[in-house]
Structure 1
Amino acid sequence: MVLLDGAWEPTLARQASKLDQPTSIHHWQLRDLVSCDDAGSIYSVYKNTTVRCSIATGKSSIVQTLRFNPNCMTVDHGYIAAGGPSSQIDIKKVKDEEDVYSGQVGGIINNSLRIAEGPIGLLLFVCNNDETIKVFSLPSMDQYATLEFQESMNYSAVSHDCHWLVGVGDSPAVYLYEATATGYRRTQELKEYSDVGMCCAWDSKGVRFAAASQDGTTCVWDRRTSKPVVRFKCSAPCRSVKFSTAPMDLMMFAEETNVVHLVDIRKWNQQQLLRMQGNSEAEISGVCFLPDATKLFVGLKDAIMVYDVDTVARRRFSEGSLI
């Protein structure tokens, strides 16, 4: 145990294993390159491929062989999508590896991809350097909406029902949107850091959202008040942030190298630092939780680290939040 901000650092998770699956980082800022959609597999980017790795056996297989080196990747609702530096997107069904789409969606670099299911069906959210977030229906790839900005957009996240969207880009602003009958309407523009926004995420209830910045700040807001709930400051850029599902009630955010912060969102002052072992700087390619949040994963250049969440402790109390 070590002292952290005047309190004993809790043990929220313990390292369980290491999967010998290397991961590749193709853009120095974009670090959301590991993803999980089921209890048995972890997906990652390696060179010009996306790879499925069995959590139980460590065996890997290629899911997509791409014509580009992907900057971004996501797996959700049975689909895997990879995005490239010239607006390329390749999409497959995970189960039978059926090709769904291969082409370009306009713009420049695809910085992030998200798949979510709402009242109108499955949607793909594409953040691009052409100052847009484009929203497509899956599997048709019909364009549903385009959100326009004054800066390149690096990341977007939607609540579990797709009703709320938050986006960050090459400015200190965090943009909050609400779904309407014709698309998304901006409701708030928030600022709590000084550099560009790199990533964002929603909690499992769609009440709070987090955004992390290149200046090392990760901030959490309550959408009902648009006021900050808590603010964390690191000495290194933050590149990825994720919430777990309930009842684990955790949030993690990754620095560019070496350290992942695991936070108890019932007690925001309790966090554990997951320190990557090694003699040199360990570049982090992404982080994600298992869908039931019993495990979490940290992608490194030479391996994927697996941590077991202390599920017994996490299930003792549920998060108290007035909705």
Structure 2
Amino acid sequence: MARDPPLLASSTPTLRAATTVTIGHVQLRDVIICPRERGVVNYIQSKAILEHDLLGPEQPPRTIAELPFLPNTLASLPVPGTDRTLLAAGGQDAEIHLSLLKPDSQREWSFNTQLQGSINNSILLTSLSLTDSNESSVEPRMAISNNDRVVMFFDVPVRARPTSITPSGVVRFNVPVNHSSISPDGRTLLSVGDSSKVFLHRLTGGAHVTASPIATLTLPPTSNPFSSPALVASFSTAFSADGSKYAVAAQEGAVAVWDVRSTRPLKVFHTDKTRGVSRSGANDTTWLSEDPQEWSQHKTRGPGWSARAVKFGGRPGRELMLFTEHTSLVHVVDARTFETEEVICMPGFPAPPPVPPPPARQQPRRSPSTTARIVRTLEETFRIAAADDEVLVIPPLGDRSVEREVRRVLGYHGVPSRFRIEEEDEEMEEVRGRPPYFIEEPELEPEPPAPPPDMCEEEEDLDVERNLAGACFDPTGSYVYVASDTGVAEWGVRGADKRWWVDGAWER
């Protein structure tokens, strides 16, 4: 049986660039876009939107919009009939930023406001009229999924610098709304929030958008030994290009795909829940907190296998779906059959060079009598033994970081010391803690620098997993971009360098 050809040209990125991408909210991870051309991406860095040309590594990222808040979400829209691009960002306290960009990415105008409400979880920009046709409206529209259990619609005037945005409709829910999508024909609103429900509404109206419920579906149960009520939520949705399919990414570690004609999922993709499980045992769930705020404060490890962002894209006649996990992994799926799936790993990026510490103050070498007096005092106070050469022999303390700190402090004060570490073969390993002027180290040949990692190791510790900040396609669907909090990488879709016959014309 012939195997399906690969979906991506290679599992190795075609481009990569180290940079800082800011994840403003631990669960909202969709802050990278590629609105105009291959290699030129926008992302959030602190309170700014940056443009980064990955094809020009000698060019540093540049700021195209400074914001008065830290965004949770980022969206863009090519304005029909113009060469302008509309950018939108939303924040934690219902803030909104809008920018209209010229072809050279210079701002024609920018606008900031704050709505009445809570967290703006996601922003959707559309040029559809949201009536019974797929015609463009006079002005672009913005749909905001908000924590106050609403999706709010606004008209965005683009022909002149706006002084306000006009409300044009609202849809109310019984749960906080985390994400929404609109079908390609502008008639269906797909929304998810802090529940296992998937909401479908029919959109009608012209100047004012109204919505009527079509169906409320339920995500299929996920086989998850670490199930927790706090994980029952979804944070991303997407329609296929022809509107015949839609997908939902669930925090419990699954992506469900529906055909619009069915109420049961066509396919459900599950992430690997054993990834990152505590080594103390497969049933140990103590590492997973039920409070997402603790994940962002680094008090506990979050579920790296949660599905965060789902997107459709790809080449004509070969549509792809991709979805990201909370950390490290990106899944690429053949959206024609949903039977072929590839998993790629976000590479690591070199850390910025450390700031050199200030020169250490030179400590006078203590006389033997002074050292002996300190050793005797510590021996009497802490009941620890000293060797014949007046070197403190300290028993294991049970925490290597504490032992290193004790050794550093003693060495700083000129007290030679060593730790007794009992190995399984009962041999003693000596770790010296003398200050530099007590040690004569042999000269060693420098080790060659390790190459940056390209793939994730199966047994890699969770502490070095990559926090993913989102993923997207370029406008032609030929390239995939993935952002972590330390860099951006590009993968080519298989066949991206070929020409395709579409609607009676050749396209790249």
- TM-score, normalization: structure 1? 0.90
- 1:110 deviates by 0.7
Indicate yes or no: 2:214 matched with 1:187: yes
Structure 1 window deviating more from structure 2 (25-34 vs 119-128): it is: 119-128
Task: State the distance in 1 between where 2:480 and 2:496 align.
Answer: 16
Alignment of 1:158-197 (within 5 A): 158-181=182-205, 182-193=209-220, 195-197=232-234
User: Quick check: 1:263 aligned with 2:333?
Assistant: yes
Contact 1:261 1:271 in 2 (8 A): yes
**CA distance in structure 1 between the aligned counterparts of 2:501 and 2:267, rounded to whole angstroms:** 21
Counterpart contact for 1:85–1:109, Cα < 8 Å: yes
Match of 1:47 in 2: 46
After superposition, give the CA deviation of every residue in 1:118-173 in whole Å (9 maximum; x if it has no partner). Answer: 13341111111111111111126211111111111100011223222101100101
2:71 aligned partner: 70
Distance 1:301 1:138, change over 3 A: same
Partner deviation per Cα, 1:231-270 (whole Å, 9 max, x = no partner): 1111211000000053330000000001000001123111
Moved more, 184-193 or 142-151: 184-193
Question: Which residue number corresponds to residue 308 of structure 1?
Answer: 492
Deviation at 1:198, TM superposition (A): 1.1
1:3 maps to what in 2? none
8 Å contact from structure 2 (residues 7, 334) kept in 1: no
Change in Cα spacing, 1:102 to 1:316, as seen in structure 2 (3 Å) is closer
SS of the equivalent of 2:266 reads: strand
Which of the numbers 276, 290, 298 marks the counterpart of 2:474? 290
Partners in 2 of 1:312 and 1:142 — Cα distance? Answer: 41
Residue number in structure 1 paired with 2:344: 274
Structure of higher CA gyration radius: 2
Instruction: For 1:64, give the aligned amino acid.
Output: A
Q: Which structure has the highest helix share of the two?
A: 2
Work out the CA distance in 2 between the residues paired with 1:37 and 1:205.
20
Greater shift, 208-217 or 226-235, is seen at: 226-235
Distance (whole Å) between structure 1 residues aligned to residue 202 and residue 118 of structure 2: 26
Q: Does structure 1 residue 130 correspond to structure 2 residue 148?
A: yes
Equivalent in the alignment of 1:115: 125
Q: Which residue does 1:99 correspond to in 2? A: 109
**Which of the pair is proportionally richer in strand?**
1
Q: 8 Å contact 2:15–2:55 — kept in the other structure?
A: no
Using a 3 Å threshold, how does the CA distance of structure 1 residues 316 and 39 change in structure 2: closer, same or farther? Answer: closer
Q: 1:183 to 1:8 in 2, by over 3 A?
A: same
Aligned partner of residue 44 in structure 1, secondary structure: strand
Q: Could you tell me which residue of structure 2 aligns to residue 145 of structure 1? A: 169
CA distance in 2: counterparts of 1:238 and 1:317, whole angstroms? 35
| Distance across 2 between alignment mates of 1:164 and 1:24 | 32
Which stretch of structure 1 is more off in the superposition, 202-211 or 36-45? 36-45
Deviation at 1:98, TM superposition (A): 2.7
Answer yes or no: is 1:85 the counterpart of 2:107. Answer: no
Range that drifts further, 12-21 or 64-73: 12-21
1:13 and 1:274 mapped to 2: Cα distance?
12
RMSD: 2.2
How far off its partner does 1:300 sit? 0.8
**Consecutive aligned runs of 4 or more in structure 1 exceeding 4 Å deviation:** 312-318
Per the TM alignment, residue 13 of structure 1 is displaced from its structure 2 partner at its CA by: 3.8
Name the TM-score, length of structure 2 as normaliser: 0.58
Deviation at 1:55, TM superposition (A): 3.4
2: CA distance, partners of 1:33 / 1:203: 20
- Distance (Å, rounded) in 2 between the aligned partners of 1:31 and 1:315: 33
Match of 1:32 in 2: 30
TM-superposed deviation, 1:72 = 0.9
**SS across alignment from 1:71:** strand
The worse-fitting range, judged by mean Cα deviation, of 218-227 and 62-71 is: 218-227
User: 2: distance between equivalents of 1:272 and 1:63?
Assistant: 34
Corresponding position of 2:268: 231
